[in-house]
Amino acid sequence: MGNPAGWSVTDVGERHVTIEHADGADATIGFVQMSGVIAASGGAGPQTPERVARALWALFDGGSARLDHVAVNGDGSVRSVGEVGSGAQYHLLIPLDRQVAIGIVARVPSRAWRTHVDAIFEGFRMNQ
């Protein structure tokens, strides 16, 4: 995946990549162990990707993130948006199987950054 305009890669790990924008936004792309998310949020058993996305929001920012909207896409991925701290956060969960997904979390100053987030999400999907 090429870097979206204005973004640069700042961290590459075995299971994640982080990109940042000079204006204070960042996004991390990595693997999500869905059963681990459910267990960490107090649940059990396999759950739907939508429930995993909701469980992730319960864990974001030490549990203080506010989830505003969740949408299940036709391909089974789950897109969500809410507030974290003084900014907006977008999340895309792309299930690979019943246990593992790819998660992309973008933390941006405001929802006015949606076009940046769309470019990151779509750029990743095109290069999967």
State whether the Cα torsion 86-69-124-52 is positive or negative: positive
pTM of the model: 0.91
The residue type at 39: A
Instruction: Encode pLDDT of 29-81 as tens digits.
Output: 999 999 999 999 999 878 999 999 999 999 999 999 999 999 999 999 999 99
The residue type at 6: G
Instruction: Note whether 102 and 27 are within 8 A (CB).
Output: no
Closest Cα to residue 55, out of 30, 35, 78, 38?
38
Options 3.40.1000, 3.30.9, 1.10.3210, 2.30.30; CATH for 7-126 is 3.40.1000
Instruction: Encode pLDDT of 15-31 as tens digits.
Output: 999 999 989 899 999 99
Q: Tokens 């949606």 belong to which residue?
A: 114
Dist CA 78 CA 92 (whole Å) = 6
